[in-house]
Chains A and B, each alone.
Chain A
Amino acid sequence: MDADKNFLVGVFDDEDAVISGVTAVRQSGVKIHEVYSPFPVHGLDEVLGYKRSRLPIAAFMFGITGTSIALVMQIWMLGYDWPMIIGGKNFASLPPFIPVTFELTVLLASLGMVATFLIASDLKPYKWPRQFDIRSTEDKHVMAIDLALNKSKNKDEISSILKAAGASEVNEKSFD
């Protein structure tokens, strides 16, 4: 991560500006580090070329785990470990096990997916983020460009590309 120290930061005023800005900047061959927005901008992930999130797959896998744990647990406990006659039914009869199975499926799917999301996005309580522009949570859309990854162009060239793409201001930001 040594490379990400010096950045050019383009500030865009609304989401239309940032979407057309991202398209223009990428067409001119500049690599974008990330775009920060105060709210989810629809279509921004597409113009940035991000692939669809695989979190639904994670949720499904955790859900299936929950289903299996619940069924195995109930059938083993009431069917094999300590069988008891309850209402004259089979020891391990499936219908009364469905509610707990459903609840554990939902519980593990939700918790597992959210944990995956937090880990994948590097969100944790003791982390202070590198803020490119403090207004990016308030009302500005902020495009960060890593200078080290765009060696083919100099700072002024990238700055003029950002301006031409619709940025209302272009600032420099470096982190130690």
Chain B
Amino acid sequence: MQVTSVVRDPLVTGGKTVKDVSHDISRQVEGKPTRLWWSAFAVAMAFLTFGLYCTLTLLWTGVGVWGLNKTVGWAWDITNFVWWVGIGHAGTLISAILLLFRQRWRMSINRAAEAMTIFAVICAATFPLMHMGRLWLGFYWTLPLPNTFGSLWPNFNSPLLWDVFAISTYFTVSLVFWYIGLIPDFAVIRDRAVIHGNNIRAMIYNALSFGWQGGAKTWMRYESVALILAGLSTPLVLSVHTIVSMDFATSVIPGWHTTIFPPYFVSGAIFSGFAMVLTLLLITRIVFKLEDYITIYHIELMNIIIIVTGSIVGIAYITELFISWYSGVEYEGYAFYNRIQGPYAWAYWSMMTCNVVSPQLFWIKKIRTSIAATFILSIVVNIGMWFERFVIIVTSLHRDYIPSSWTMFHPTMYDIGQFLFTVGFFFGAFLLFAKFFPVINMAEVKSIISIGSEKKTDETPH
């Protein structure tokens, strides 16, 4: 039985009971993967294999296999790096910031969004690692480890080094946060396996659940841990993209040397992250029949966040343009004039159309509650956000201070292959997650559909 509130739409539809939640979510873990799953996994592995070939070629030959040149030293690699890190931000926003704001609708989407964060951060990390060329030396170059050169320590004044600490901390804390949330749900699968007499699965999921029992004292500590991790992750996620933006903002390159970069990058990150969450969840809810858990209401709320962050991004673009003119700095002015009018104008206008114009369509209720429209626009937004990073990086570099150095950037097969490698990894990892891990946080969803607490709030409204 589900008690519905008079004020709000139910977060989980279909009159689910606590028992139904365990059943519906554990079902895909227990069943055999469908043919659809296998075909999607095969496509992801094909991308991964081609990407692996390109990656190994790069490691064998050197960074020269990419299309970089003396003028454009950063292009697809750093574009992809920033794009993936940005995508990761939505997961932490959903699980940490919405927890602090007590937004209960996050509960059925946080697990998948956090998984997406972790895979996206791994994808992001591959690009700077590969860009180092000799990545086996990367530990000495980036971490303060004693070495035979003195010891010669890394430069803690450099935003590139801050990035190393920010990304690795972000990855570790997100992973821990995600895993702590998974522990009680692994125990559900373990106990169902015990009931069904599947001993191997019971053993595996017991190990994964760390022998979880769900005692009141453990739950009390667990909630305390979740709240503090949310409190720590909130400034962390804001710091990560702030530091990523400082890779550019602390330089003196016209087009990069901009003080609005931190908030502009953070809102862009949340914007693209929510778009990727929507792309993944719209597929997941259909493939795993989760329409009662991930409802149109969830989709609509995420679309509203896309309008807000998309508009912030739009304002940032216009502010940048205005300031480049108002500053009166000739170089700054030219960098932006070149973006709009130069040989990469097509990329600039793609970015403007995808990021500024397209999310505004979500003001129309019919569009933001339509699954097909949301799916298409979520992909459009991610294309736009890729172009944003490409525009910032390549158009600021390709016309250097001396016109004799002016050049264009042309990606090689290896640039594209490295990108496809991460795309294959991302979707492959997400498919494995969706098959073997509970895609929805069962314990949290149970706590919002349970009869008792809803009754109480109905009697004493506050």
Of residues 146 through 169 on chain B, the ones whose CB sits less than 8 Å from some CB of chain A are 150-153, 155-157, 159, 161-162, 165-166, 169
CB proximity of A106 to chain B, nearest CB, Å: 5
A45 neighbours in B (Cβ, 8 Å):
216-217, 219-220
Complex partner residue of A137 from B159, B184, B232, B235, CB under 8 angstroms: B184
Total interface residues on B, CB under 8 Å, equals: 68
Which residues on B are within 8 Å of A, measured CB to CB?
17-19, 22, 144, 150-153, 155-157, 159, 161-162, 165-166, 169, 172-173, 176-177, 180, 183-184, 187-188, 190-192, 194-195, 206-208, 210-225, 228-229, 232, 235-236, 239, 243, 443-444, 446-447, 450-453, 455-456
User: Could you list which residues of chain A lie within 8 angstroms of chain B, going by C-beta atoms?
Assistant: 14-17, 19, 34-42, 44-45, 48, 50, 53, 55-56, 59, 73-74, 77-78, 81-82, 84, 86-87, 89, 93, 96-97, 99-100, 102-104, 106-107, 109-111, 113-114, 117-118, 120-131, 134-139
Hey, which chain B residues are within 8 Å of A110, CB to CB? 172-173, 176-177, 229, 232
Known interface pairs A39-B446, A82-B151, A100-B165; 12 further A-B residue pairs with C-beta atoms within 8 A, sorted by A's residue number: A16-B451, A37-B214, A44-B220, A50-B216, A53-B220, A78-B156, A99-B166, A122-B211, A123-B210, A129-B211, A137-B22, A138-B188
CA distance A26 to B206 in the complex (A): 32
Given known contacts A74-B156, A120-B221, A107 and B207 CB-to-CB distance under 8 angstroms = no
Chain A residues in 8 Å Cβ range of B450? 14-15, 39
Min CB distance A102 to B, Å, is 6
Q: How far is the CA of A15 from the CA of B191 in the complex (A)?
A: 20
Q: Which residues of B contact A113 (CB under 8 A)?
A: 225, 228-229
CB <8 Å contact, B229 and A99: no
List 14 A–B pairs whose Cβ atoms lie within 8 Å, in order of A's numbering: A37-B219, A39-B443, A39-B447, A39-B450, A44-B220, A45-B220, A89-B157, A103-B239, A113-B229, A114-B229, A121-B217, A121-B218, A127-B210, A139-B22
> Which B residues are CB-close (under 8 A) to A122?
211
Asked if A131 and B213 make an inter-chain contact with CB atoms under 8 angstroms apart, the answer reads yes
Assess the B225–A40 pair: CB atoms within 8 A.
no
Most interface-central of B207, B211, B222, B243 (chain A CB within 10 A): B211
Q: Write out the residue numbers on chain B whose beta carbons fall within 8 Å of the beta carbon of A40.
A: 219-220, 222-223, 443, 447
Distance in Å: Cβ of B12 to nearest Cβ of chain A: 13
Chain B's closest residue to A105 (CB) is: B232
Residues of A near B455 (CB, < 8 A) are 16
- Interchain CB contact under 8 A, A125 and B221: no
- Of all A-B residue pairs in the complex, the 8 with the closest CB atoms, nearest first, are A127-B211, A16-B452, A123-B210, A99-B162, A139-B18, A77-B153, A39-B447, A103-B165
* Nearest neighbor of A96 in chain B, beta-carbon distance: B157
A114 and B222 alpha carbons, distance in the complex (Å): 9
In the assembled complex, the Cα of A59 lies from the Cα of B192 at a distance in Å of 34
